[in-house]
Amino acid sequence: MSRTKKKLAISIGDLNGIGVEIALKAHKEVKKLCDPIYCIDETMLKQASSLLRTKLPDDFTLKRVGEAFTIEPGQISAKSGRYAYDSFMTAIALAKEKQVDGIVTLPIHKKAWEEAGVAYKGHTDALRDIFKKEAIMMLGCEAMYVALFSEHIPLKEVANTLTTPALLRFFLDFYESIHPQKVAVLGLNPHAGDGGVLGDEERFIEEAIQQANNQIGFACFIGPQVPDIAFTPHNRKHYRYFIAMYHDQGLAPLKALYFDQSINVSLNLPIIRTSVDHGTAFDIAYKNQANTTSYLNALEYALDLATSR
């Protein structure tokens, strides 16, 4: 897709992890695609580049963030968690003020956010509260995308979230966000409940599918499908989009198949936000081993969304 050059805010993530390495390593390629604004101040950037033994680019545009601290590679830190949150909020402010066309987020550490006293479990929770919208978490790549009906909640609580009204709203919001032609909807239970023998939550899923398809006007949502065969090569020939009922149901197969390529997209929001689909990788922090593929894919997706709006 041809596009004019856009501006993107880059939320730097947890500086004790691999985010800043990815930003520095990919900068030359990113600069060809857009004008990035990195939400990090010069003091922290110089400290990170020194640890990485990397020379700073001359054209690295910065936006000052929070309070400086001492980077501790691979460590959970309240100060690093606070800085990551402040970087994210700075990026959001730039998007809300129309100073950028979208934001791309590098990985945070949820425990570090918690230790910093941040009220949210992650980016998506924060986005929901800030914009008062039911943001949808979709992850994947060109070959396959998976949206999550429930995300970062204990597994024992998932079944209680499955109600027909909640599922219906989710399906309709998902459709309005990307207008897919066909979406595979997974059941919750083994064998999709086996007619109620292994659980009856599928009846709520089925009711919501029927109501959603009636409102849309065609059979967009197909299911509930048996979860353990939903991602087989045969099924993936017929579907590009999947909706999983809980986190690991959708992300375990996705990451097994496309770990390095996948991205995270927040749908149903007034701003564009994409992200890498991996964590802070503390075990390789500041070892110059980080892979930039997910980051570059996230950036490309954000630019395509910005161009299509």
Nearby residues of 90 by Cβ (< 8 Å), 6 or more positions away: 9, 11, 39, 63, 65
Q: What is the pTM of this model?
A: 0.90
For residues 187 and 184, give the distance between their C-alpha atoms in angstroms, rounded to a whole number. 10
Question: 284 and 206 in one domain?
Answer: no
In angstroms, the Cα distances linking 209 to 169, 180, 182, 191 are 10, 14, 12, 18
Question: 233 and 287 in one domain?
Answer: no
- 260 pLDDT band (50/70/90 cuts)? confident
Query: What pLDDT is recorded for position 9?
Result: 98
Give the residue numbers spanning the domain of 219.
Answer: 143-260
Residue 48 lies in a domain: yes
Nearby residues of 159 by Cβ (< 8 Å), 6 or more positions away: 188, 199, 201
Give the tens place of pLDDT for each residue, 167-203. 999 999 999 999 999 999 999 999 998 888 888 999 9
For residues 208 and 206, give the distance between their C-alpha atoms in angstroms, rounded to a whole number. 5
For residues 114 and 109, give the distance between their C-alpha atoms in angstroms, rounded to a whole number. 9
Question: 307 and 217 in one domain?
Answer: no
Question: 278 and 183 in one domain?
Answer: no
Outline where DSSP puts E strands in 122-217.
136-141, 144-148, 183-186
Residue 149 lies in a domain: yes
Question: 110 and 207 in one domain?
Answer: no
Of the candidates 261, 139, 161, 262, which has an alpha carbon nearest to the alpha carbon of residue 208? 161
Question: 79 and 55 in one domain?
Answer: yes
Mean pLDDT for 243-268 is 95
Residue 151: is its pLDDT beyond 70? yes
Question: 213 and 254 in one domain?
Answer: yes
Question: 298 and 199 in one domain?
Answer: no
Q: Based on the structure, what is the number of domains in the chain?
A: 2
Question: 129 and 2 in one domain?
Answer: yes
Q: Are 8 and 274 in contact (CB under 8 A)?
A: no
Residue 209 lies in a domain: yes
Question: 150 and 298 in one domain?
Answer: no
* Higher pLDDT pick, 108 / 198: 108
Q: Are 65 and 87 in contact (CB under 8 A)?
A: yes
Would you mind telling me the total number of residues written for the chain in this entry?
309
Question: 236 and 179 in one domain?
Answer: yes
For residues 125 and 216, give the distance between their C-alpha atoms in angstroms, rounded to a whole number. 28
Residue found under tokens 């997706």: 301
Q: Packing angle between helix 293-308 and helix 19-33, nearest 10 degrees?
A: 40
- Residue 159 has which token pair? 């079944």
Q: Are 109 and 83 in contact (CB under 8 A)?
A: no
Residue 154 lies in a domain: yes
Residue 78 lies in a domain: yes
Residue 2: is its pLDDT beyond 70? no
Give the tens place of pLDDT for each residue, 64-93. 998 999 999 999 999 999 999 999 999 999
Query: What pLDDT is recorded for position 139?
Result: 97
- Provide the residue type at 284 as one letter: I
Give the tens place of pLDDT for each residue, 27-51. 999 999 999 999 999 999 999 999 9
Of the candidates 245, 56, 280, which has an alpha carbon nearest to the alpha carbon of residue 155? 245
For residues 52 and 185, give the distance between their C-alpha atoms in angstroms, rounded to a whole number. 44
Question: 23 and 65 in one domain?
Answer: yes
We report the CATH number of the domain holding residue 250 as 3.40.718.10
> Which ranges in 191-265 belong to alpha helices (H)?
202-216, 233-236, 247-258
Residue 138 lies in a domain: no
